[in-house]
Structure 1
Amino acid sequence: MAMDKHCTRVLLTLRRYIGVPLPGTELYVRGLRPAGNSIRLRLGDSQSGSLLVDLPTRRAESDEWIPTWWYVGALRGIARWATDHQTAAGVRAEPEVIGADTLTEAGVLPHDADVTDADSLDYVIGDLAGDPLWHGAAGSAAPDLYRMVGFDAHSPGFVRVYLVRDGRTIGLDLATRDTKTAEPRTVGWWASTKLIALLNPDDEQTLAAHRRDDADDPYCEAVYDLTEWA
């Protein structure tokens, strides 16, 4: 459970880079999920494909949880390093995972948090505005039903979100484009509203009807296809 909560906080911290590229690069955060004792990140753009990076969750020297804002500076350095070395894989390829040891040897990972003036401003405004990162970090629009611990935008127009529900991690495939027009979905609460209805404990058969028995995902116990339903 502690790992799930840590991943949720890191997800909230890095969410800014889902919609805007990492500074000085064209790379966006396209995925974040627990991977054993690490956090696995997918960075990518529409041209060069993506790369997978494993980052630690605890300090090697003390076993303490790494502060979530450390990942912001680490990710900026990784993105610049990846861009300089052109490490992104082809669009159709699933890239090899770049581990923390490789990044440490390359001098990419900072020991302490690398906080810029822009970070400081963002943190202050977020704190005062009640950003959940600083005020509870529930990681859910319905904490009694689920906690979001990760996601993977594995292909254009689709995302698999990872939720902890009743003590087990499940993956839900959602379409980020309208299934009829193929246009990006507008801003709104359509996702949480539909998921809350779907996860209603009084109607467990609704979710079960969407289970993908052919899905093989080591990061969750079951996958459900909601690309047409939600």
Structure 2
Amino acid sequence: MDDSSSRVLLTLRRFIGVPLPGTDYYLHAAYPAGEASYRVRLVSASSGSLVVLLPRAWPDGGQIGTWWYAGALRATARLAHRGGLAGIPYEHGHRHAVVDVEELVARGEVSQDIEVTPSDGLDYVVGDLVGDPLWHGAAASVDSHLYRLIGFDLRTPDVVRVYLARGDRVLGVDLAVRDDESGQPRLVGWWASAKVIAILNPDAPETLAAHRVLVMSDEVCDEIYDLTRWA
């Protein structure tokens, strides 16, 4: 089996221990169900258990982007929470009702497009900079010789300050979590780590220095840099 199952699990992991937004459903199980589906069990104190089958590929064979699963599960949980699954074909087992998300997509109840919320973007930035295995081993990687992520602060809905330990100093680096042109949350996968590595390039120290903010202080860090427009 390829690593797609691991990537789906790592994507959905962010729902462990917290209710899916706008619902009282909690994620209690997630694992492959053959080659066609990934099986998730949601549990609600008010509505009981619901098994959600997430497709591993589209009917035409098209691949599914990993982050689609986060939005699809949120949408399905919201539908179930407000009783919007009435009329959707269920499989009834001994303990759980089972809904196939592919059916919801076909009916237009769940979008085939990837949904990215501001929380997704923040989760991505933190995971990427800390070296989360969901994002690494691909096009970019953290560089522990240049920095270590030790914290973050969402300063505004549009800007997150990440705290990077570098030697005996802590840098506060401001990154935009929304796209300047569209105003929408940045798509996950824009490789925040690659941006940080580029700005900290020891062979080009003037690159970092050009973005230093001197009119602001932060008790958490020694220096502040504004990359909201550069990165």
- Shorter chain as denominator, the TM-score bin is 0.5 to 0.7
Alignment correspondent of 2:131: 130
- Name the TM-score, length of structure 1 as normaliser: 0.52
* Deviation digits for residues 39-93 of structure 1 (CA, Å, limit 9, x no counterpart): 11101123432101111111223x2431110011111110110001176xxxxx6
What is the rounded CA distance, in whole Å, between the counterparts of 1:128 and 1:120 in structure 2? Answer: 12
Alignment correspondent of 1:82: 80
Alignment correspondent of 2:115: 114
Alignment correspondent of 1:8: 6
Q: Secondary structure at the match of 1:23?
A: coil
What is the rounded CA distance, in whole Å, between the counterparts of 2:84 and 2:63 in structure 1? Answer: 31
Alignment correspondent of 1:58: 57
What is the rounded CA distance, in whole Å, between the counterparts of 2:113 and 2:106 in structure 1? Answer: 16
Which of 23, 30, 33 pairs up with 1:32? 30
Structure 1 segment 110-189 matched on structure 2, within 5 A: 110-136=111-137
Q: Secondary structure at the match of 1:85?
A: coil
- Relative contact order, higher structure (CA 8 A, sep 6+): 1
Contact 1:57–1:66 (8 Å) recurs in 2: yes
What is the rounded CA distance, in whole Å, between the counterparts of 1:22 and 1:123 in structure 2? Answer: 17
Q: 1:125 to 1:30 in 2, by over 3 A?
A: same
Residue 21 (str. 1) matches residue 22 (str. 2): no
Give the superposition deviation at 1:101.
Answer: 4.1
In the TM superposition, structure 1's runs of 4+ consecutive aligned residues that sit over 6 Å from their partners are none
What is the rounded CA distance, in whole Å, between the counterparts of 1:101 and 1:16 in structure 2? Answer: 22
Aligned identity (percent) is 51
Larger radius of gyration: 2
Give the superposition deviation at 1:136.
Answer: 3.9
Give the superposition deviation at 1:124.
Answer: 1.2
Q: Secondary structure at the match of 1:71?
A: helix
Alignment correspondent of 2:97: 96
What is the rounded CA distance, in whole Å, between the counterparts of 1:11 and 1:44 in structure 2? Answer: 17
Q: 1:66 to 1:19 in 2, by over 3 A?
A: same
Alignment correspondent of 1:202: none
Amino acid of the structure 2 residue aligned with 1:100 = V
What is the rounded CA distance, in whole Å, between the counterparts of 2:101 and 2:135 in structure 1? Answer: 27
Q: 1:96 to 1:66 in 2, by over 3 A?
A: same
- Name the TM-score, length of structure 2 as normaliser: 0.52
Contact 1:74–1:108 (8 Å) recurs in 2: no
What is the rounded CA distance, in whole Å, between the counterparts of 1:29 and 1:86 in structure 2? Answer: 19
